Structure 1
Amino acid sequence: MSHSHVGGPTADVSVRIAWADDAQAIAAVQVRAWPELYAGVLPAEVLPSDVDAVSAQWRQVLARPADARNRVLVALERNRVVGFALTSPALDPDCDPVSDGELAEVTLDPAERAKGHGSRLLQAAVDTLAADRFTRAVTWVNAGDDGLRTFFTDAGWAADSAHRELDLDGTGTTTVKQVRLHTAIA
């Protein structure tokens, strides 16, 4: 299968497990992507804007994961981080943390969309969950995010009828409705 994209071949794109040194680059992607991801959901002032502060949090996550199966993947274009994904045991009360893995986030730099990074990241995340011996993957998407939902359903994920209202700031004033999608992992 050959994919030709404007700008040449895709041999310079890859996905790998993140290193502690990636913290700054991951933080920068998050700070750029979240205002767009959460537009109309979260007030701008609660979104992280300080890359250094966010970077420090990532450095800690990458250096000392709470569980060996908490993984951070980065999508690269040449050596530049253009997106990241998080995988872990699923912690929902109705999930089995041994067999159910969660894809907690797939975030792309807004400037790097529609280049195939998201699909590669999703595939790598599922491969990583499989390597960690999970047999099912779940992810939560904002109910109104048709683009993200379509991205997952096109990749073979389906709604599993679970839904929740997420309290984003702890006060109950900023909530977002989410639906859970799932897929079997071969």
Structure 2
Amino acid sequence: MNQPHHPVHHEHDHPPGPLADASVRLARVSDAPAVGFVQAVVFREAYAAELAPEVIAEFQPQAFASAWRATLEGAAAGDGVLLVACAGEQVVGLAAVGASSDPDADDSTAELLVLAVHPDARRQGHGSRLLHAVVDTARARGRDRLTAWALASAEEVRAFLVAAGLDSDGAHRQRVVGPDGETAEEVRLSASLEAA
């Protein structure tokens, strides 16, 4: 019986997919410079409308990298876990999760301490992958609730978190974000991590 002949095309008949694999993994000490760079870029963007330019200028990659290096070396890790999103080998995002320090939280509450994706790497799923990894990490540590603080002015960030299942729980605070006591208003979102 003859099989129908299907010509083999060596050229792509469809648009090429992403050039690099996307992944999330635990951060390594060697990631500190890349993590510091991403955080500085994202924080400068996030706080641009909130703080004076001279305060924004204080958000330097080296300062963030030094703090993350100390955390990753164990000097300041505590209960926290730092995760990184990668495009191939390049770190393009970060998320940190740890115990909540809110006065109304108990031992079962985890806090998303930071979630940041470089502007050039957004809308590629890195934020969602990071958030899923944060939830998995929190659950693995026995936590059944996740909270996150977001700038009141950061509508896009809050929309992303709400779409992921977190909701505003009515808490708000003024966070000190500058060397001279400059503050920015934040609102808290939270979600249950218990299986439905």
Q: Match for residue 85 of structure 1?
A: 95
CA shift at 1:53, angstroms? 3.6
Q: For the residues of structure 2 that align with 1:180 and 1:49, how far apart are their CA atoms?
A: 23
Of structures 1 and 2, the larger Rg is shown by 2
Within the candidate set 55, 72, 77, 1:62 is matched to: 72
- State the number of aligned residues: 179
- SS of 2:104's partner is coil
Q: For the residues of structure 2 that align with 1:66 and 1:90, how far apart are their CA atoms?
A: 15
CA shift at 1:45, angstroms? 2.3
Q: Match for residue 151 of structure 2?
A: 142
CA shift at 1:56, angstroms? 2.0
Aligned-residue RMSD, C-alpha: 1.9
List aligned pairs for 1:107-186, cutoff 5 A.
Answer: 107-169=116-178, 171-172=180-181, 174-186=182-194
Give the TM-score, by structure 1 length: 0.88
Q: Match for residue 30 of structure 1?
A: 39
The structure-2 alpha-carbon separation of the partners of 1:183 and 1:40, relative to structure 1 and needing over 3 Å to count, comes to same
Q: For the residues of structure 1 that align with 2:84 and 2:98, how far apart are their CA atoms?
A: 15
The answer to whether the 8 Å contact 1:13/1:77 transfers is: yes
Give the TM-score, by structure 2 length: 0.84
CA shift at 1:89, angstroms? 0.2
Deviations along 1:77-129, whole A, 9 cap, x unmatched?
10100000010100011111x10000011011111111111111111111111
- SS of 2:111's partner is strand
The structure-2 alpha-carbon separation of the partners of 1:102 and 1:65, relative to structure 1 and needing over 3 Å to count, comes to farther
CA shift at 1:10, angstroms? 8.2
Q: For the residues of structure 1 that align with 2:60 and 2:175, how far apart are their CA atoms?
A: 24
Q: For the residues of structure 2 that align with 1:23 and 1:177, how far apart are their CA atoms?
A: 28
Deviations along 1:43-67, whole A, 9 cap, x unmatched?
2322345433432221111111545
The answer to whether the 8 Å contact 1:35/1:44 transfers is: no
Give unpaired runs (5+ residues) of structure 1. Answer: 1-5
The answer to whether the 8 Å contact 1:28/1:51 transfers is: yes
Within the candidate set 97, 112, 117, 1:103 is matched to: 112
- SS of 1:64's partner is coil
The 10-residue stretch of structure 1 (45-54 or 134-143) with the greater mean CA deviation from structure 2: 45-54
The answer to whether the 8 Å contact 2:70/2:76 transfers is: no
The answer to whether the 8 Å contact 1:26/1:81 transfers is: yes
- SS of 1:36's partner is helix
The structure-2 alpha-carbon separation of the partners of 1:92 and 1:49, relative to structure 1 and needing over 3 Å to count, comes to closer
The answer to whether the 8 Å contact 2:98/2:112 transfers is: yes
Within the candidate set 51, 66, 73, 2:61 is matched to: 51
